[in-house]
Structures are given as C-alpha cells and as structure tokens.
Structure 1
Amino acid sequence: MSSTVEDVGGVDAQDTQDTQDAPDAPDAPDEETPEASGRGHRRALLAAGLAVLLLVLGGAGMLFRAHQLRSTPAAGNRALTDTEATSQVTGDVSDTLGKVLSYTPQATDVTAQSARELLAGKAAKQYTALFGQVGKRAKEQKLTLTTQVVRAGVTRLTGSEARLLVFLDQTAQRKGRPAGVVAAQLSVTAELRGGNWLITDITAR
C-alpha cells in the first residue's frame, strides 16, 4: 500500500516538474486585419485634423487679442506709441522728484518753493504737511538729503494724465558722519498743466 502511494506520488511529481519546465509555446505572430488597418488610418486622420484645428484656433485667438487691444482703453495708452510725450513726462517727473526730495540745512526754503511750483493736488497737500517737520529737523541735525532718479517708466499716458513707476537713490548725510544711501520705489501720478507735468500723487511702494 505504501509502495503504491509512493509510485503515484512520484509520477505526479515528475509530471508536474515536466509541465513546469516545458518552454512556453511561441505566440503566433499577429496579423493586421483590414479592420485594424482602417482604425489606424482613421486615428492618423483625426490627429492631423486636431493639429489643424489647434493652428486655426491659435490664429483666431491672436486675431481676437489684437482686436481687444485696438478696441479697449489700452489702445488709448500713449505710453506705448507716443515717445515724445513719454520722454517729456519722464523728464519732468524725474526733475521734480530730484528737487522736492533734496534739501540742505541752509536752503530748505528753496526746496519748499520748488514743491509749491511743481506739486499739485494730493501730493502738494501731503508735502506741505510733512515738509515743515522735515525742514526743521534738517536744520537742527545738519542733515543733507540728495535724491537721484535711477530709472523712471511711464506705465500709462492718456490725455493729460500719466502714471509712472520710479526707482531712485537717496543719499543722506549728517555733518561729521558718513553718508548713507537708501533705494526707494515710488508710484507717481502726474497731470499736464500749462505745458508742464505736475506731480499730483506720490505713493511709496
């Protein structure tokens, strides 16, 4: 009885081993059917059609954007087209900032006079309120401030109003002490009055 069990077990084990060791039969090569070929052709046509559609939509988008630029207020921004006016407002604003933001202990009245002539609106009111204190401190502390515009760019210019972004360096020096330089960035609004651009608003950024 034991021998029979061993024989059967041996046959089963051998058969199992032979089955595991037998190499897999090679897959039969796929043959492209006419139906599969047709699907591939349709996919290629679809891809080409999508590419053309994207090009058309891209072109239409650019035309629509160009129309927007021509038909919206951006088209009235002379900062993009009028180089002469842009140059004038940049020069006037840079010159004004250099004058009203610079002073010496002996000549604060000169700075105040420049501010009265070159500032208007909100900027004039703010400056008048603050410069009284600044001028007094400059005399007491022997403080000299020199402001130089490093770069100024007109961001919007329409009719008689302009908006600018201005970068400047300010050098402050007290008598007997080394000078210190501080960089500043301002948003400036200016209005054209009597042929000159007057600053009407100054905001530190």
Structure 2
Amino acid sequence: MSSTVEDIGVEAPDEQTPQARGPGRSRALIAGCLAVLLLVLGGAGMLFRAHQLRNTPAAANRALTDTEATSQVTGDVSDTLGKVLSYTPQATGVTAQSARELLAGKAAKQYTALFGQVGKRAKEQKLTLTTQVVRAGVTRLTGSEAQLLVFLDQTAQRKGRPAGVVAAQLSVTAELHDGNWLITDIKAR
C-alpha cells in the first residue's frame, strides 16, 4: 500500500506556480520603479529651483556679502557728495571742478544745470553751504554699479545771519570707473 502525503493527513508544502507569484512580485517591482522615478523627478525639481534661486537679482546683489566693495562705494559716494554739495562764496569754482571730476552721466548734467544758478547766488548772498553725510547705505551692488540711500545734513550760513541746518535724503546711483565710484544719478527723496 502506498500512501501519499495527502492520504496521511499531512498537508503538502504549498508550492506556488509562477503564475501565482507573478502579480504580487510585479506590483512590488512597479511600486519600486515609481518610487525611484518620483525621487529622480523630485531631485531634478529641487536642482532646478536651487538654480533659479541662485540666479535671481537678489542673489546677484553683493551689498550684504561684499563688505570691502560696500565700504568703498559708501566712502567714495559720501566724499563726493561732501565735495560737490559744499561751497563758499569765494570758492564755487573748486566745487564745480570737483563735480566735473566726480560726477558722470545724468548726475553731471543735473549738477551743471543746478549749480550754474546756485554759484551766482552764493556770491551775491555770501552763502556758505556745508554738506555732511550722516548715513549712507548700499541697497544694491553689482560688479560695477551701486545704488545707495544717503541721509545728509546741510548747514547754510549767510554772512551776518545764524546758520540753519536742513536734513536731506537722496537716492544715488554710482558706477565704478578705474577703481573709483562716480555718481551717475542723484534723486531727492
């Protein structure tokens, strides 16, 4: 009498046919491929976004990261404003000469038009104007152009009268020429 495993009541090991294993295994394979695909796409998206952030105008602004250039432009612009916005009745020519050397572009044209009238009045009224930069901050700095916000005090003194102090606020654009920052535009705020 030959008996089989089934006859004795012992269950035979469960053998799966290749068709029975297929759907579960293929689902896992598809899920794994989708996970890898999502990771690759997500990584590519993050790299693209990082590239965008690095190439924005804000990232190109060196005003907060390049302290040496920021200090230089602030110093040059402050010195220039002190020279071109200060005069005495006897030395308006010195102020005009400083303006020719330190201003360029639109600022030079603006200054020439304005100072032509002021120079005459300074002599007639014996007016002395002293300009001192109180605070200057660089709002945007690229390799060769800077924009600044400048606060200054101007003291006007007419002969025989008490001096008066007036505060002013300017938006200034400067460009780097041969290692020096020249003012190219000035706007009163």
TM-score (norm. length: structure 2): 0.73
Q: Secondary structure of the equivalent of 1:90?
A: helix
Equivalence for 1:174 = 158
Displacement after TM superposition at 1:70 (Å): 2.4
1:155 aligns with 2:139: yes
Displacement after TM superposition at 1:80 (Å): 1.6
Between stretches 49-58 and 143-152, larger displacement belongs to 49-58
Q: Which has the larger radius of gyration?
A: 1
TM-score (norm. length: structure 1): 0.68
Higher helix share: 1
Q: Runs (4+) of structure 1 moved beyond 2 Å?
A: 1-8, 27-71
Distance 1:57 1:5, change over 3 A: closer
Distance 1:28 1:53, change over 3 A: same
Is the CA contact 2:153–2:166 (under 8 Å) kept in the aligned structure 1?
yes
Between stretches 113-122 and 38-47, larger displacement belongs to 38-47
Uncovered stretches (5+) of structure 1, i.e. residues with no partner: 12-26
Cα deviation digits, residues 51-104 of structure 1 (max 9, x gap)? 999999999999999775423121111112100000000000000000000000
Distance 1:199 1:35, change over 3 A: farther
Uncovered stretches (5+) of structure 2, i.e. residues with no partner: none
Instruction: State the superposition RMSD in angstroms.
Output: 14.0
Is the CA contact 2:157–2:163 (under 8 Å) kept in the aligned structure 1?
yes
Cα deviation digits, residues 92-119 of structure 1 (max 9, x gap)? 0000000000000000000000000000
Matched-pair identity in %: 90
Between stretches 150-159 and 46-55, larger displacement belongs to 46-55
Between stretches 44-53 and 171-180, larger displacement belongs to 44-53
